[in-house]
Amino acid sequence: MSVIIVILLTAILVLFLHIFEGRQWVNPLAILGLSLSFIILCLENNSLWGDYSSMIYMTQFAKVFTGTAIIFTILVFFINQSRLKLEEDTNNGDKLGLVLFSLCGAILLFTFTNITMLFLGIEILSIPLYVIASSSKHDLHSNEAGLKYFLMGSFATSIILFGMALIFGATNSLDIMTISEYFSQAEISKMAALGAFFVGIGFFFKVAAIPFHFWTPDVYEGTPSIWATYFATVVKIASFGAFFRLYILLGNVDNSPLYKVLVLIIILTVVVGTLTALVQENAKRMIAYSSIVNSGFLLMFFLNPSSDILSYFGLFILGYGLATIGIFSAIVYLESIGNSNGFEGFDGLGRSQPLFSLGVAICLLSLAGIPLTVGFLGKFYLLMSLSFDQWWMILLVIASSIISIVYYFRIFNGMYFSNKKASAIVAPEVVSPYLNFVVGFCALSLIIIGLFPDFYLNIFQ
């Protein structure tokens, strides 16, 4: 609980510090507060959390996911710091405060034990993000991204709520354990099944599975790149963490009607997502489709839930998040020197910034699933978790991974094999040390955890 309190206090402090003197201290303060909350999270015993009238409860799974979300937010704030060196931003405090508030919602999504908390978590996570998405006030793209995100987000929330109401009617309880007991019966009422179906559809919207994905590329492209990083990583982790817990509790796996829908949606997501990513001309949209394909992979973990799956799921999402942050920091750098978001923006980066682009290249390799990285291990464990009856699913993963190399290679190609002279395209400007730190951190942890995954997997025990 003290984790949430520390983050909330930091957010309020950031808002106040922004009004009074000391705008330059806002970003360091936010990073400091988050680091403090991370330390508290590591030191705090799970049992100290209590259960707060059986509203929230910290499990080991929730703890690892909370830690991951906090670290990703710190990395996003480091990227933000690099921008502040270049331009004066009078609204920086508001944005940081909103991001911190939405992080609290994400933590509620990992720890809820009551449907009310699930609903509040989703809303606390989303409402600040609608503002963040349109934070570049005079840019029409940003406004449009905000409005689209708002309409789709609240539409999805209403559908989830309708499902919750039906489940409440069938089980006469809001407590997740009682509901889970009801769903583990052999025979469940039609109303409860319909409710689970609606909740599932709403979450497919939230995690951007095809055919409910159409808002994702628009929102990622329109939102200022720094905050798009937050959308692609922390928000993804939060929605998947909640969805995974719910599915394990309510899924009633094999005979549930949700299972067939899930299989259909996984196939659609991976196939359509991979093919659409191929034809993108904009790096941000390509990343958006790559995140949709990764959603498909993550949904595959839902097919055979077991106790081991939790840690593999965590490993996959960690690899995806770190690699995405690394690539987004390259996009932020290119935007700061005035390059476009197209693939040609990356031309010659390998020659003008060799070390920086090495880090970005490692992130790309990890997303594509090349050995020695976390991305490879995540896909390896994903394949291990599938049974032989699901051989076509295994084929799907392998085929999609091979095709994905093609579109990740387009950035790679631009960085290293472009014919144009480096000085002609990319101004030989120094990369901000903060961006260097973020990319270095992501690349190093991708390799270190890729070589020694046991350390990370053991935290889940």
Partner 1 sequence: MLMQINHIVPIEHIITLSCILFCIGVMGVLLRRNAIIILMCIELMLNAVNILFATFSAYNGNPDGQIFVFFIMVVAAAEVAVGLALLVLIYRNTRSVDVSLLDRLKW
DSSP notation for 370-385? -TTSHHHHHHHHHHHH
Candidates 5, 151, 275, 384; binder of partner 1 (CB under 8 A) is: 151
Site for partner 1 in 299-338 (CB under 8 A): none
Say whether residue 172 binds partner 1 (CB under 8 A). Answer: yes
Nearest to 226 by CA among 14, 76, 341: 76
Which range, of 148-156, 241-249, 294-302, 325-333, touches partner 1 by CB under 8 A? 148-156
Q: 211: cis peptide before it, omega within 30°?
A: yes
Burial class (CB in 10 A: 0-12, 13-18, 19+), 23: middle
What's the CA gap between 51 and 365, in Å, rounded?
Answer: 42
Candidates 44, 89, 144, 308; binder of partner 1 (CB under 8 A) is: 144
Say whether residue 168 binds partner 1 (CB under 8 A). Answer: yes
Kindly tell me which of 115 and 315 has the beta carbon lying closer to partner 1. Answer: 115
Say whether residue 347 binds partner 1 (CB under 8 A). Answer: no
The count of chain residues that interact with partner 1, using the rule CB under 8 A, is 40
Kindly tell me which of 144 and 344 has the beta carbon lying closer to partner 1. Answer: 144
Kindly tell me which of 221 and 347 has the beta carbon lying closer to partner 1. Answer: 221
**Contact call for residues 124 and 111 (beta carbons, < 8 A):** no
Which range, of 3-11, 45-53, 154-162, 256-264, touches partner 1 by CB under 8 A? 154-162
Kindly state the smallest distance separating residue 276's Cβ from partner 1, in Å.
Answer: 8
CA distances from 401 to 94, 106, 237, 304 (A): 40, 29, 21, 21
Tokens encoding 9: 């206090």
Candidates 9, 84, 147, 248; binder of partner 1 (CB under 8 A) is: 147
Instruction: Write phi, then psi, for 339 (nearest 5 degrees).
Output: -80, 160
Burial class (CB in 10 A: 0-12, 13-18, 19+), 387: exposed
Candidates 1, 36, 40, 131; binder of partner 1 (CB under 8 A) is: 131
Kindly tell me which of 238 and 318 has the beta carbon lying closer to partner 1. Answer: 238
What's the CA gap between 455 and 460, in Å, rounded?
Answer: 10
- Please count the other Cβ atoms lying within 10 Å of the Cβ belonging to residue 19: 10
Kindly tell me which of 164 and 393 has the beta carbon lying closer to partner 1. Answer: 164
**Contact call for residues 109 and 118 (beta carbons, < 8 A):** yes
Say whether residue 158 binds partner 1 (CB under 8 A). Answer: yes
Site for partner 1 in 208-227 (CB under 8 A): 217-218, 221-222
Site for partner 1 in 263-302 (CB under 8 A): 285
What's the CA gap between 335 and 326, in Å, rounded?
Answer: 15
Kindly tell me which of 64 and 122 has the beta carbon lying closer to partner 1. Answer: 122
Query: Interface residues with partner 1 (CB under 8 A)?
Result: 115-116, 119-120, 123, 127, 130-131, 134, 137-138, 140-141, 143-148, 150-151, 154-155, 158-159, 161-162, 164-166, 168-169, 172-174, 217-218, 221-222, 285
